[in-house]
Amino acid sequence: MGLSYTTTHQVQFYECDIHKQLTLPMLMSVAITAGELQTYSLDPTADAYLEEHHLGWIITNHSLDIHQFPKENEQIFVTTEAESYNKFFCYRNFYIHNQQGKCLATMKSVFSLMDLETRKIVTVPEEVISVYQSEKIKRIHRFPVVPDPSGEMLAQENYRVRYFDLDTNRHVNNARYLAWMLDVLPFSFLEKYEPTHIEISFQKEIEYGNTISSQCEERESTEADKETAHYIYNQDVLSAKALISWRQRNENE
């Protein structure tokens, strides 16, 4: 295991949905921010090194379990650790707790470094990874496979990529993919159900000006109240896919 880092976050009203809960894209963003803060605390020159070598961090996978969504005005504690790495992939864990110490959510993520000029994944330099004191491994962690589309879509919407959808790597931010995926679900569905688990895989980057298609289908599940599969296409190219498990909301929580 590598070094761990904990930060706090006060949930703001503009980060919440109509149920006054932190939205799923914001939950993911709050977790990722903890990793960025750890990097700055360990090596204030990290960004300068990446910029000098034309490198940028990208995410290839998230596996997220949600036990309870943080509420508006709630203070939460976000802990992260850069667990291990191999030649091309870095594995980081995230844990979100409330003030009483209850675990609200956990997330496992896979990061890689991309050459911003060639847009290809490169070997992770020791100069970048050594500060985290992560374990160096040879194996590749395998995440659950998100199934391919069955052909019967529940919903579909098209979106044009805007300037404010982009991040510092000049491509669409990961949280935006998730927002597009959720946006196609009916209001009545989102009002009644909340996500408990998500597997999401990012496969191809999307850039400014592209028009993407967000597609969704409902899946049979014996372990969740509902299960939906989501696909983001850039023309005919599959750029991301996700499998989300849902439970009926308990309004008394």
Quick one: pLDDT at residue 219? Answer: 87
Cα(74)–Cα(100) distance, integer angstroms: 11
Quick one: pLDDT at residue 253? Answer: 59
| Domain range list for the chain | 1-137, 144-253
Task: Specify the CATH class of 1-137 in words.
Answer: alpha beta
CB contact at 8 A, 172 and 214 = no
Give me 105's structure tokens. Answer: 């959510």
- Same topology between domain 1-137 and domain 144-253: yes
Profile the chain (253 residues) by mean pLDDT over runs of 10 residues: 94 96 96 96 93 94 97 98 96 98 98 94 94 94 87 87 89 92 95 96 93 93 88 94 94 64
Cα(226)–Cα(162) distance, integer angstroms: 32
Predicted structure pTM score: 0.93
What fold does the segment set 144-253 form as a domain? Thiol Ester Dehydrase; Chain A (3.10.129)
